[in-house]
Amino acid sequence: MLNAEVAKIFRQLAIYEDMENEFFRARAYQRGAEALEALAEDVKEIYRRGWLKALEEIPGIGGSLAEKIEEYLKTRRVHTQEQFKKKLPLNLEELYAVEGLGPKTIKLLWEQLKIKNLKDLERAARLGKIATVPHLGEKTQEKILRAITFVRQTGDRKLLGAVLPLARALEERFRRLPGVTEAVVAGSLRRRQETIGDIDLLVVTTKPKLAHETFIKMPEVIAVKAHGAGRSEVRLSLGMDADLRVVPPESFGAALQYFTGDKQHNVELRKIAIAKGLKLNEYGLFREKKLIASRTEAEVYRALGLDLIPPEVRTAAGELAAAKNHALPRLLPYGSVRGDLQIQTKWTDGVSSLEEMARAALALGREYIAITDHTRTLAMTGGLDERGLARQAKEIDALNTKVVQGKFGDKNKKFRVLKGAEVNILKDGSLDIDDAALAKLDIVAAAVHTNMKMPRPEMTRRIIKALQHPRLHILFHPTGRLINKRPPYEVDIREVIKAAKKYRVALEVNAFPDRLDLKDEHVRLAVAAGVKLVINTDAHAPEHLRYLEFGEATARRGWATRGDVLNTLPLNKLLEVFRKKTIIG
């Protein structure tokens, strides 16, 4: 995917244009970069489909940017960027990542001290040279040194699953504080984005000073970055920043909307306000000086002629138009997945026994689970062969008998353990377990675990071949990515979605925090194509069973409804769907 590469160049051009005081041109490059990053399709494909014209149809890309994309596709270079680089030979990627450094300061440091990269910057700061530059001083120099340290030790954004528990703890902590009536985490956390850059906590209180004092003295705080009357900002020991904003109760809705974002959604929302002769900011929606709406988010959206848009889909990807036409889908409610269909046990690479996993799932209110240990060719996990699956089936039968006899959990509660497997898709697209053994399972799922570096056409063919298998019900983690660790397989996801529809195979939304695979955009493509989804945790330990909500969040971000997700069904209905597919073929 070249989108990210071109986007990076556009971001650099934006910085260079800012240095030249060409602010609007800079913004155009920025928006172009954002447009490319948000694109699910490869620009290379778009270009092949309709040349320059197709590129220009991307919102935010006009003639000039389209030509630069074309130039990059053909030569892997962009002349304009090279011109700038000749004039100002800076490592912008490094310098711009240093917090507090923007285009103007970077340019100033180049002109005054010939600083062109992070190393130069650090040396100059240590020697005390930065404090001697006009308009800069001691404090700026110290700030830069701290920011360099931060840049070196963090880097990646944190996983949603790693941050949400702390965010919830903060909400709880502040809700218990005297004077506080609201404490909500906004930002990318509230939108349940897959990775999180910082924590934005929004508080309504009669004692703002107490809230700010409490905030900057939290045990997790390692440094205070800002401390004002309305806003404080701290650095947390887990390697990210947190923001506290205290707002008055009458503007809570407007503030929550504003700080939830995302940025592009807010920009578009504000344009809608302007078109109606109104002004929207974090204090409310105004006509001239007159306040029109501010107390709740719903009130603000309604006053703009829109239905309330759930935070997860505020991505400037059609949700505003849908809200205007009352055409937003009713997103999958949290907690509506009834059963978890991917669970590993001690039989292979899980850490707990089958029974322990079952008990934990039951305790969380699941109505059914599928045990899906790995199969034979995955030697490193001790994958099960046909005989192993048969032995495991006996253990599952025994467990289900105990449930029926009321000897397992609450006998009034329904619970069932299904026989499944995470079958390995071999290099040629065949499955590594024979048909007779697959026929004995309640649920057959398959996934790619080996030969992950195949060229795109071959990998696509391989997965589609697997989808054609008459006994296959689910494709697990369809793209194989591990967030911040491993890129997805080279695979044409659109073709996979088409094939999943044709052969009636469900696609998994794997809820494990570093997978979230399918990802939100792909969920949306699948939903639009009418492909059914399944949300599973991929639990390898009892505590992983709680991850379901991250999968539900990802499905919501992809506009999925209850009807799109098979494991929201009661067990008998779910099995009926799977059986039908097998009988008809």
Give contact residues for DNA (rule: CB under 7 A): 18, 24-25, 27-29, 31-32, 56, 59-66, 99-106, 131, 134-141, 143, 187, 197-198, 200, 226-231, 241, 243, 259, 263, 266-267, 270-271, 274-275, 279-283
Cα separation values, 341 from 66, 338, 565, Å:
45, 10, 12
User: Minimum CB separation from DNA for residue 85, in Å?
Assistant: 16
Which value, in Å, is the radius of gyration of the alpha carbons in the chain? 27
Report the distance separating Cα 473 and Cα 468, nearest Å: 10
User: Minimum CB separation from DNA for residue 450, in Å?
Assistant: 41
User: Minimum CB separation from DNA for residue 35, in Å?
Assistant: 8
Report the distance separating Cα 331 and Cα 322, nearest Å: 13
Q: Under a CB-based contact definition with an 8 Å cutoff, are residues 58 and 37 in contact? A: no
Largest CA distance in the chain: 82
User: Minimum CB separation from DNA for residue 269, in Å?
Assistant: 9
With respect to DNA, which residue has the nearer C-beta, 283 or 503?
283
Q: Under a CB-based contact definition with an 8 Å cutoff, are residues 70 and 62 in contact? A: no
- Which two tokens mark 118? 């992070």
User: Minimum CB separation from DNA for residue 173, in Å?
Assistant: 21
User: Minimum CB separation from DNA for residue 324, in Å?
Assistant: 12
With respect to DNA, which residue has the nearer C-beta, 141 or 392?
141
Residue that is written with structure tokens 């494990």 in the block: 512
User: Minimum CB separation from DNA for residue 185, in Å?
Assistant: 12
Q: Under a CB-based contact definition with an 8 Å cutoff, are residues 304 and 270 in contact? A: no
With respect to DNA, which residue has the nearer C-beta, 189 or 444?
189
User: Minimum CB separation from DNA for residue 331, in Å?
Assistant: 24
User: Minimum CB separation from DNA for residue 524, in Å?
Assistant: 21
- Which two tokens mark 287? 């006509």
Report the distance separating Cα 528 and Cα 329, nearest Å: 12
Those residues whose C-beta lies under 8 Å from the C-beta of residue 498, and which sit 6 or more positions away, are 529
Report the distance separating Cα 283 and Cα 474, nearest Å: 48
With respect to DNA, which residue has the nearer C-beta, 44 or 270?
270
Those residues whose C-beta lies under 8 Å from the C-beta of residue 385, and which sit 6 or more positions away, are 375, 376, 433
With respect to DNA, which residue has the nearer C-beta, 225 or 366?
225
With respect to DNA, which residue has the nearer C-beta, 200 or 508?
200
3-state SS, 146-197, equals HHHHHHHHCCCCEEHHHHHHHHHHHHHHHHCCCCEEEEEECHHHHCCCCEEC
User: Minimum CB separation from DNA for residue 231, in Å?
Assistant: 4
Kindly compute the dihedral angle of the four CA atoms of residues 387, 388, 392, 393, in this order, to the nearest 10 degrees. Answer: -30
With respect to DNA, which residue has the nearer C-beta, 28 or 527?
28
With respect to DNA, which residue has the nearer C-beta, 274 or 529?
274
Buried/exposed code over 159-181 (b: 16+ C-beta within 10 A; e: otherwise): bbbebbebbeebbeebeeeeebe
User: Minimum CB separation from DNA for residue 83, in Å?
Assistant: 12
Helix runs in 490-570, H state only: 493-502, 520-528, 548-557
With respect to DNA, which residue has the nearer C-beta, 228 or 563?
228
Q: Under a CB-based contact definition with an 8 Å cutoff, are residues 203 and 246 in contact? A: yes
With respect to DNA, which residue has the nearer C-beta, 285 or 472?
285
User: Minimum CB separation from DNA for residue 123, in Å?
Assistant: 18
Phi, psi dihedral angles at 377 (to 5 degrees): -70, -10
Report the distance separating Cα 518 and Cα 493, nearest Å: 10
The full DSSP string for 351-367 is SS-HHHHHHHHHHTT-S
With respect to DNA, which residue has the nearer C-beta, 103 or 429?
103
With respect to DNA, which residue has the nearer C-beta, 275 or 379?
275
Report the distance separating Cα 571 and Cα 367, nearest Å: 8
With respect to DNA, which residue has the nearer C-beta, 139 or 485?
139
User: Minimum CB separation from DNA for residue 266, in Å?
Assistant: 6
User: Minimum CB separation from DNA for residue 155, in Å?
Assistant: 15
Q: Which long-range contacts (CB under 8 A, 24 or more apart) does 262-265 make?
A: 262/188, 262/191, 262/193, 262/314, 262/315, 262/316, 264/34, 264/38, 264/315, 264/316, 265/309, 265/314, 265/315, 265/316, 265/319, 265/320
With respect to DNA, which residue has the nearer C-beta, 18 or 549?
18
